[in-house]
């Protein structure tokens, strides 16, 4: 199917869409497609995240902040599990759009050309696979961007699978890229506002536990993913951090690799909550998100309650120590 998609991308004026607050995997995938299939623009309807901004500046990549989709012959969406994640306000994704993703399918892309491989840790792996199947060379700048997406979406290899490591090493070898270069690309200094957001999130943390597994929730105004990692560093196994913007909420979730091995799958948890609350949820075992209309504190309570239920199932299967220390 990837070759069929590649045929549709040739010789057409394209726009490549990425989800709101687009991460490095989305931007790396979009850039590789743009270079592999010229005459394309990258459009981020609701901005890009901190690391992506640093990388875009380093690599001198142009990202559109406004765009009329009707002016393009082909619309492509990457690394986005549902239309809602694009956060398009006055436009809709056309029915002939092509969607390439690696998250658990939500069923919300029905009717469009949809390729999804949720066994992949990153979307960048799928783009590399497409280029390889079509016999396309990977230029050094493209290789750097693909590596950046693989690094960040694997949590700096904490969640990497053998396929990702093989793809990563193949690009390093073919493009003559050192590991230090790849890590330097996504290395971004932590701003004062991010430090304060993380400290406030830790201060507002609520937690509960079953046996020796802890779930924590918190809320703030920004940097939800960074706040998740900060709270995990204090000892939590699963963390949900949310933010509220008027009627809309957004929750980021992270879990340790040990929690995932025991049976935690944040994508499943948030997809289920999203279905029940008319919100948009999903993701991977160790990293997922939930967004929609509603009260973030109420949704965080549901996240904690649902995770505690999973903890009890894990304990019942004998996969948890009953520690009182």
What are the residue boundaries of the structural domains of the chain, listed by start? 2-185, 193-316
Which of 3.40.470.10, 3.10.310.40, 3.30.565.10, 2.70.170.10 is the CATH number of 193-316? Answer: 3.10.310.40
Where helices occur in 92-191 by DSSP H, the ranges are 123-133, 140-153, 162-175, 179-185
pLDDT reading at 325 higher than 60: no
pLDDT reading at 221 higher than 90: no
β-strand pairing of 213-220 with 238-245: parallel
pLDDT reading at 277 higher than 80: yes
pLDDT reading at 321 higher than 90: no
pLDDT reading at 324 higher than 70: no
Per-residue pLDDT tens over the stretch 30-55? 999 999 999 999 999 989 998 999 99
DSSP state of 190: P
pLDDT reading at 266 higher than 90: yes
Query: What 3-state DSSP class applies to 320?
Result: coil
**What is the secondary structure of 258-279 as a DSSP string?**
HHHHHT--HHHHHHHHHHHHT-
Which of 3.30.230.10, 3.90.1640.10, 3.30.420.10, 3.40.605.10 is the CATH number of 2-185? Answer: 3.90.1640.10
Instruction: Give the mean pLDDT of the chain.
Output: 94
Per-residue pLDDT tens over the stretch 142-190? 999 999 999 999 989 988 999 999 999 999 999 999 999 999 999 988 8
């Amino acid at each position: 199917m990837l070759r069929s998609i590649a045929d549709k991308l040739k010789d057409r004026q394209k726009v490549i869409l990425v989800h709101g607050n687009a991460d490095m995997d989305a931007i790396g995938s979009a850039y590789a497609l743009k270079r592999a299939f010229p005459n394309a623009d990258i459009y981020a309807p609701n901005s890009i995240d901190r690391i992506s901004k640093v990388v875009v500046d380093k690599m001198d990549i142009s990202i559109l902040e406004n765009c009329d989709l009707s002016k393009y012959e082909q619309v492509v969406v990457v690394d986005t599990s549902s239309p809602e994640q694009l956060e398009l306000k006055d436009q809709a994704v056309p029915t002939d759009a092509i969607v390439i993703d690696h998250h658990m399918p939500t069923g919300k892309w029905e009717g469009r050309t949809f390729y999804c491989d949720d066994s992949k840790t990153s979307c960048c792996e799928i783009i590399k696979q497409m280029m390889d199947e079509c016999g396309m060379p990977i230029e050094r700048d493209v290789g750097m961007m693909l590596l950046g997406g693989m690094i960040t979406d694997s949590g700096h290899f904490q969640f990497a699978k053998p396929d990702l490591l093989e793809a990563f090493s193949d690009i390093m070898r073919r493009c003559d890229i050192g590991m230090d270069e790849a890590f330097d690309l996504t290395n971004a200094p932590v701003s004062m506002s991010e430090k304060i957001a993380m400290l406030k999130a830790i201060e507002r943390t609520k937690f509960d536990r079953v046996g020796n597994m802890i779930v924590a929730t918190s809320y703030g105004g920004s940097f939800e993913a960074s706040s998740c990692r900060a709270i995990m560093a204090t000892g939590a196994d699963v963390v949900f951090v949310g933010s509220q913007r008027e009627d809309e909420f957004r929750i980021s979730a992270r879990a340790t690799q040990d929690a995932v091995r025991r049976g935690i799958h944040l994508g499943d948890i948030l997809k289920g909550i999203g279905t029940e609350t008319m919100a948009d949820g999903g993701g991977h075992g160790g990293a997922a998100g939930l967004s929609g209309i509603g009260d973030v504190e109420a949704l965080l309570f549901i996240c904690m309650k649902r995770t505690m239920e999973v903890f009890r199932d894990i304990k019942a299967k004998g996969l948890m120590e009953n520690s009182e220390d």
